Structure 1
Amino acid sequence: MGSMVLANVAKRFEIEPAQFEATLRATVIPTGCNNEQFTAFLMVANEYKLNPITKEIYAFPGKGGGIQPIVSIDGWLKIINRQEGFDGMEYEDKLDGNGNLISVTCRIFHKSRSRATEVTEYMSECRRETDVWKRWPARMLRHKATIQCARYAFGLSGIMDEDEYQRMEDTKRTEKPVSGVVVEASPNFYPQEQFEENFPKWRSAIESGRFTPEHVIKMASAKGLLSEQQIQIITECK
């Protein structure tokens, strides 16, 4: 599966797979990234047709090692503009009596819908004590509203921006009451027993044409990280 995804993504950029992998590992992939993590990164890039070289998607170093695929705001805007039926978006800022930004509302219009999809994000909920939020609070809140509205409007899932990932990692961190050592949550792998139980149903769905291998992989990956061998087994059901 890894080689197939690599070949598909490399083909879009008209470059040999081996050279493409070497380029990514030398420029945008952190050291310590194993083959499974690299494949997962490519799967996300391939699913949403994003360019890693131009930082539409990039590999963010995980605090516990490995990487997390992160979609930049440029990547999100590319995904939004490519959606069938997309008919533009608009923003509305709400200020308090002192001119401070309270919230940003994003509206996304769809050609087949009579009403726009609308999402409001609030500064009091979103602002963090990080350098980027201190320097560009209005821009960051606009990005948050854009991303959340896109999720509602187009049902996008399985991708996040860097700010969301950092928030998620912060909530994962727990302290041991005795030693005070901060530990990281280990990745959740898809249980082999559950895989063997579900695989016959997946194979039947693929062979009947109801699902593609890629759809099954995406669906299963939402419940746990698939091993390279598990991915290969699903892919061969064609």
Structure 2
Amino acid sequence: MIDYALSSACQAIAISPLDLKVLMEKLKLIEELPRLAFLRLIERYHLDPLLGEISVFLKENEANPVYLPLITIDGWIKIMNAQPAFQGVTFQEALSDGNSEPYWMECTIFRSDRIHPITVREYFAEVKTNQPIWHEMPMRMLRHKVLTQTVRLAFGISMGEPTNLITEASNIKAKTTGGKQNPLVPVNLEANSKPRMQLLKERLISA
């Protein structure tokens, strides 16, 4: 089953099976279901793990560590722009009183086949986490969060992972925070594989 899913994923993103197998070697100790989900997402949405559009994260839990395939913000932007009905996106925000942090942010997506646009509002206080990135770049993180949720709603994209992990997937800077272990640890999919720029150049030359 894994071999079939791997072959389908390679065809979807026009990548050599050898390159993807190198990445899958990093996941060989992970249960089959998360690996299948990772490959299915690559195939369905044409996401390239070598370009950072999708990854795998370990949500650490003392009792039961869980591996999750995660679409990064670059992946969500790609999915959005690939939709035939997509006609544009806008953002609007409100700042907290006397604070540089946003109070809320709205994202609106316009579709050519809908009368009304789709708008989602997220409140910073409700979605922020203890990750340092949320305090260092609150506007960017909230923008990524609300964009992700609006794309999901506007185009009916179903994901199984907790929503807070989606936004943090491409923004984790360190595995430790204040001496405490970060509950999100990225699985290094790039080690022992070709650099991204080299792979991109090879694909452009062969195209």
Q: TM-score, normalised by structure 1?
A: 0.61
Which residue pairs with 2:30 in the alignment?
33
Matched, 1:47 2:47: no
More helix, by proportion: 1
Inter-partner Cα distance in structure 1 for 2:91 and 2:70: 24
Instruction: State the structure with bigger RCO (CA 8 A, min sep 6), 1 or 2.
Output: 2
Q: Does the aligned pair in 1 maintain the 2:27–2:35 contact within 8 Å?
A: no
Which residue pairs with 1:4 in the alignment?
4
Deviations 1:107-163 (A, max 9, x none): 000112222111111111112221111111111111111111112211111255873
Inter-partner Cα distance in structure 1 for 2:4 and 2:57: 23
How far 1:164 moved relative to its partner?
Answer: 3.1
Inter-partner Cα distance in structure 2 for 1:84 and 1:21: 28
Q: Does the aligned pair in 2 maintain the 1:34–1:66 contact within 8 Å?
A: no
Deviations 1:76-105 (A, max 9, x none): 110011112100000001123425321111
Inter-partner Cα distance in structure 2 for 1:31 and 1:4: 15
Matches within 5 A, 1:53-68: 53-63=50-60, 64-65=64-65, 67-68=67-68
User: SS in structure 2 opposite 1:112?
Assistant: coil
- Count of residues paired in the alignment: 163
Q: Does the aligned pair in 1 maintain the 2:73–2:167 contact within 8 Å?
A: no
Identity of matched residues, %: 29
More strand, by proportion: 2
How far 1:57 moved relative to its partner?
Answer: 0.6
Q: Does the aligned pair in 2 maintain the 1:60–1:70 contact within 8 Å?
A: yes
User: SS in structure 2 opposite 1:9?
Assistant: helix
AA matched with 1:50: L
Structure 2 CA distance for partners of 1:45 and 1:148, relative to 1, 3 Å = same
Q: Does the aligned pair in 2 maintain the 1:88–1:108 contact within 8 Å?
A: yes
Structure 2 CA distance for partners of 1:122 and 1:140, relative to 1, 3 Å = same
Inter-partner Cα distance in structure 2 for 1:153 and 1:162: 16
AA matched with 1:157: S
Structure 2 CA distance for partners of 1:57 and 1:109, relative to 1, 3 Å = same
The farther-off stretch of 86-95 and 99-108 is 99-108
Inter-partner Cα distance in structure 2 for 1:111 and 1:140: 28
Deviations 1:4-25 (A, max 9, x none): 211112233341x3x2343213
User: SS in structure 2 opposite 1:120?
Assistant: strand
Structure 1, unpaired ranges of 5+: 168-238
Which residue pairs with 2:180 in the alignment?
none
Structure 2 CA distance for partners of 1:124 and 1:162, relative to 1, 3 Å = closer
Matches within 5 A, 1:141-220: 141-158=142-159, 160=161, 163-164=164-165
Q: Which has the larger radius of gyration?
A: 1
Which residue pairs with 1:179 in the alignment?
none
